[in-house]
Amino acid sequence: MIARAADVLLALSNHPDGLSLREISQYVKLPRSTVQRIVNSLEEANLVIAASPTSGFRLGPTLTLLAEAVRPFDIARMARPLIVQLSTETGETVDLSILSHGKAVVVDQISGLHPLQAVSTIGTSLPLHGTSIGKSLLAALPEKDLDALRSQIQLKPLTKNTVVSWDQLSLELDMIRETGLAFDQEEYMIGISSVATVLRGPGGELAAVSLPVPTERYRTKEKQLVEALVTRTQNFQRRL
């Protein structure tokens, strides 16, 4: 019954001026008598109200109160088990970052097991154009948001490998969109390489997870790191 009531509410959400019982019945593919019982229950809770004095129903004021009580999904909290699992499986440091003011900001991190590892901390701001985690966030942005960032981001050379041309970076972003993976081959820091992918929360929130690894070890483990990242993040997205 709850699922059927949800179907009725969704049908009404697409028709703010209201629908008759017959129209609701057609949209949700239920008998009119069943729709009448559902609507009666919803009307008692003010989840639906009369659309006019004579006929039809539309969404009610109680839904406004419920919507105001919903807190945004916390992508960092939700992704915590994922990055713990990735670090345990690979033995490497795992960073989780979000986009903020033209930077990738590390909001959570699990340290690796090796004495030699990439050094960053929660709260670190990373350049978008020179890191795998930054490029994965850029590639996930709608085109209008990406265009707005172009004037804010200076493509400064961080190492001799950093991409400093928007034409070249745009080609790389296209590839990231196709594969779902972004790479940093000592573009941010000599001696450190990384792979990253983007995460999308239920409300469209964006975050990215990366595995920054000393290059010498990264080269021997790249296939393992990529497979672990892809498998775990895909499972995470399916659960969402």
Same domain, 43 and 90: no
Are 132 and 29 in a shared domain? no
Mean pLDDT of all residues in 128-132: 95
Question: Residue 113 corresponds to which tokens in the numbers above?
Answer: 């097991």
18 plus 79 within the same structural domain: no
Q: What does pLDDT average to over the chain?
A: 88
Distance CA 107, CA 78 (A): 12
- Give me the pLDDT at residue 116, please: 65
Tell me which H or E stretch contains 127. Answer: strand 125-127
Mean pLDDT, to the nearest integer, of 114-137? 84
Over residues 137-153, mean pLDDT: 89
CATH number at residue 35: 1.10.10.10
User: Domains in the chain: how many in total?
Assistant: 2
Do both 182 and 203 map to the same domain?
yes
> Looking at residue 147, which CATH number applies to its domain?
3.30.450.40
Per-residue pLDDT band for 127 (boundaries 50, 70, 90) equals very high
How would residue 46 be classed by pLDDT, with cut points 50, 70 and 90?
A: confident
Q: 100 and 212 share a domain?
A: yes
Q: Would the pTM of this model clear 0.85, i.e. be above it? A: no
Nearest to 135 by CA among 108, 113, 166: 166
Residues 158 and 90 in one domain: yes
| Shared-domain flag, residues 63 and 79 | no
Sign of CA pseudo-dihedral 98, 128, 176, 224: negative
Q: What is the predicted pLDDT for the residue at 15?
A: 82
Residues 23-35 have a mean pLDDT of 90
| Cα–Cα distance for residue pair 30/34, rounded to 1 Å | 6
